[in-house]
């Protein structure tokens, strides 16, 4: 593996008054109501996650060459971010998105243009700002020995429909992304294993060339209407690129699970810690995280914000971040 690996984030901050006024005005003009988990305040809340995610990168992902932080054209970038560093660059939406797709407050749409970032490496990782590295990893966690990305999945997204419950728009977008690949490629190989499953909701690995090939294959049929300024539930998620790569034999499926199962002999379980690939904690489970991170030592973890997070939950989260990652990273202005 000789080519570099870069890391990309999309970022916004609801506390930015200029950006917030722009978003609210645009939503009002289009009659868009921002509420709930999928489009409410939790979707845009910062929680200072990015600062601590980058601290985790500095500690545990030394293989990352450069970090790109993608922000709105009129938004202020994080004031603590050292954009003068050769390792981090702020990228504006207008640099990568067509004029008719702007402005955009829809991360699902923005993510379709990340491969256009100037100077981005062929191999790149994408992370939400609330996704953290938990222990030292190397690029082999994300790319197999043949250089192809490892795509992690966990659980099925069709459980709502099977129980007769309303299907969240995110699950519907997952199905949209799966179905268009299934239509053209059928169910075979690693795509057959991934079909109908949730991606693990953590740092994901991509190849720019796969994204370009996928977009060329499906063309305007798939992506021509996929860039609304707010979520609609009809879009394709970025995971269509992983599905395409799996179907084309350009990626590897992995079930994101604990690497040490209960069926292993007891003496082997004593000799090796129970590593997990990744763990995700919804707001209701945040306070269980410290014990589970210590027990399973996942490579990655995520504190997924939601509409039911209380002020006390957010205060706890801020304290946890400071305890877990107390030292400034190479990406911060003040490193004292």
Tens of pLDDT, residues 287-297: 999 999 998 89
Check if the beta carbon of residue 67 is closer than 8 Å to that of residue 35: no
pLDDT at 268 over 80: no
- pLDDT tens by residue, 87-119: 999 999 999 999 989 999 999 999 999 999 999
Q: What per-residue confidence (pLDDT) applies to 332?
A: 94
Instruction: Report how far residue 286's alpha carbon sits from residue 165's, in angstroms, rounded to the nearest whole number.
Output: 25
**Closest among 203, 148, 158, 201 to 178, alpha carbons compared:** 158
Give the strand pairing for 300-304 and 197-199.
Answer: unpaired
Contact 64, 120 (CB under 8 A): no
54 in any annotated domain: yes
> How far is Cα 225 from Cα 176, in angstroms, rounded to an integer?
13
Q: Is residue 330 part of a domain?
A: no
Determine the 3-state secondary structure of 155 from DSSP: strand
Residue 225 has pLDDT above 80, yes or no: no
* pLDDT tens track for 272-330: 566 889 999 988 889 999 999 998 899 999 998 877 888 999 999 999 999 999 999 99
Q: Name which residue leads in pLDDT, 309 or 217.
A: 217
Instruction: State the pLDDT confidence band at 208, using cuts at 50, 70 and 90.
Output: very high
pLDDT 10s digits, 143-190: 999 999 999 998 888 888 778 888 888 899 999 999 999 999 999 889
Asked if residue 22 is part of any domain, the answer here is yes
The answer to the question of residue 334 being in a domain is: no
Task: With respect to residue 332, please indicate whether it lies within any of the assigned structural domains.
Answer: no
Range of the domain at 272: 5-324
pLDDT at 221 over 70: no
* 143: DSSP letter: B
Q: Is 333 a member of any domain?
A: no
Report residue 53 as tokens: 């995610």
pLDDT band at 334 (very low <50, low <70, confident <90, very high): confident
Residue 290 neighbours by CB under 8 Å, 6+ apart: 320
335 in any annotated domain: no
Between CA 131 and CA 324 the distance in angstroms is 13
Dist CA 88 CA 99 (whole Å): 25
Residue 233: predicted pLDDT: 83
Query: Count of H helices and E strands in the chain?
Result: 13, 11
| CATH number, domain containing residue 75 | 3.90.550.10
**pLDDT of 68 above 60:** yes
Start-to-end CA distance of the chain, whole Å, equals: 35
Structural domains in the chain (count): 1
Does 259 have pLDDT greater than 90?
no
Q: Is residue 336 part of a domain?
A: no
């Amino acid at each position: 593996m000789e080519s570099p690996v870069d890391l990309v984030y999309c970022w916004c901050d609801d506390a930015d008054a200029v950006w917030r006024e722009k978003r609210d005005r645009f939503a009002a003009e289009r009659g868009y109501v921002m509420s709930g988990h999928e489009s409410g305040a939790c979707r845009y809340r910062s929680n200072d996650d990015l600062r601590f995610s980058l601290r985790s990168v500095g500690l545990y992902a030394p293989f990352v060459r450069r970090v790109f932080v993608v922000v709105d054209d009129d938004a202020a970038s994080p004031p603590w971010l050292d954009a003068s560093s050769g390792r981090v660059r702020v990228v504006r939406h207008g640099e990568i998105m067509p004029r008719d797709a702007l402005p955009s407050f829809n991360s699902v749409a923005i993510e379709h243009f990340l491969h256009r970032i100037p100077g981005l490496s062929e191999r790149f990782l994408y992370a939400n700002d609330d996704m953290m590295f938990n222990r030292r990893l190397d690029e082999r966690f994300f790319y197999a020995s043949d250089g192809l990305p490892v795509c992690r999945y966990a659980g099925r997204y069709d459980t709502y429909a099977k129980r007769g419950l309303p299907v969240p728009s995110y699950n519907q977008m997952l199905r949209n992304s799966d179905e268009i690949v299934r239509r053209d490629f059928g169910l075979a190989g690693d795509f057959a294993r991934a079909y109908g499953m949730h991606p693990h909701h953590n740092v994901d690995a991509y190849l720019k060339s796969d994204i370009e090939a996928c977009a060329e294959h499906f063309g305007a049929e798939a992506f021509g209407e996929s860039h609304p300024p707010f979520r609609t539930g009809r879009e394709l998620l970025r995971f269509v690129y992983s599905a395409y790569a799996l179907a084309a034999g350009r990626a590897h499926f992995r079930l994101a699970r604990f690497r040490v199962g209960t069926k292993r002999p007891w003496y082997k379980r004593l000799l090796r810690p129970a590593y997990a690939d990744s763990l995700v904690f919804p707001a209701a489970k945040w306070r269980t995280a410290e014990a589970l991170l210590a027990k399973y030592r996942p490579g990655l973890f995520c504190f997924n914000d939601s509409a039911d997070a209380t002020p006390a939950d957010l205060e706890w989260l801020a304290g946890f971040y400071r305890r877990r990652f107390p030292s400034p990273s190479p990406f911060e202005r003040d490193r004292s």
